[in-house]
Amino acid sequence: MTTLIFGHQNPDTDAITSAMSWAEFQKQAGNTDVEAVALGEPNDETKFVLDHFKVAAPRVIKTAANETGHVMLVDHNEFQQSVADIEDVQIDSVVDHHRIANFHTASPLYYRAEPVGSTNTVIFELFQEHGYEISPTLAGLMASGLISDTLLLKSPTATDKDKKILPEMAKIAGIDLQSYGLAMLKAGTNLAAKSDMDIIEGDAKSFTMGGKSIRIGQVNTVDLDDIYARQDELVAAMTKEAQAKGYDDFLLIATDILNSNSTGFAVGADRDKVAAAFNEKFDANDRLALPGVVSRKKQVVPPMQGAFEG
């Protein structure tokens, strides 16, 4: 029976590439009956990566229990971010770099989590610890996941370990970090080609905070004016999606990757609480200025959780 390996829903580059790198680790460890899959189609940034390294995208699954009884999770652990039938399969391992919440298993498992910039940082360490081979292509995929999650090490999520490891990955991959990294990040910011739903849901995750269902999406851009021009349509799409899925609040973070600033847009009954989490207020244009904020994991979720659960 094949063990399926996957990252979170609405997968980003780190989610998809870490599934692929963890699958390769398993094969070198002797567990050859594994397959890296995805819980959604790759976004434009990830497509750029896969095309650059001439690697096929993992197939997309909606459920797992119809295929297997065993799975491995990467880049997430919270059940609401995982495959729909996660409670119907056995989780054999988790490799992650996020908080641990809403997670439990019936059986013992391998669990490796570190507070670093990407899951691929953790997996790269594991390859080194075991003396396993990292091919140039695999190193490129792993570097791409780390570049994506840390915005080329500009994010506060980037640790000293990430800053040491990324050049090592790049050397093996044979890429120039600055030119490749910037091209990769820009590939994911072509908003003109994205629908309103692509923008609000393309990189969105659900969280439970203070008994509320909170949806937090993030979109990267090189010009926030591109987002401002579509604000009414995006807010309308967020409102519709929140009503359809039962979210109490929906926050969209638009991040300027060149200047490392963000603007927030929110719908729901707790807009004032959302703003208070960042010690800010929505302006006359219903925009929440978030200077210096680029990381959902480190700069958005923790203050939001404090505001809703404090």
The answer on pLDDT for 193 being more than 90 is no
Chain-centroid distance of CA 275 in Å reads: 23
pLDDT at 214: 97
* Superfamily designation of domain 1-187: inorganic pyrophosphatase (n-terminal core) (3.90.1640.10)
As a whole number of angstroms, the distance between CA 44 and CA 188 comes to: 5
pLDDT per residue as tens digits for the range 48-57? 999 999 999 9
**Per-residue model confidence (pLDDT) at position 310:** 81
Domain boundaries, the chain: 1-187, 192-307
Classified by CATH at the fold level, domain 192-307 comes out as Diaminopimelate Epimerase; Chain A, domain 1 (3.10.310)
Gap between the Cα atoms of 134 and 191, Å rounded = 34
Residues 6+ apart with CB under 8 A from 123: 18, 21, 22, 25, 74, 95, 142
* pLDDT for residue 137 is more than 90: yes
pTM: predicted TM-score of the whole model, two decimal places: 0.86
Mean of per-residue pLDDT scores for the chain: 96
Give me the DSSP letters along 217-234: EEEEES-THHHHTTHHHH
Which of 89-98, 181-190, 301-310 has the highest mean predicted lDDT (pLDDT)?
89-98
Q: Quick one: average pLDDT of 45-65?
A: 98
Flag whether pLDDT at 289 surpasses 90: yes
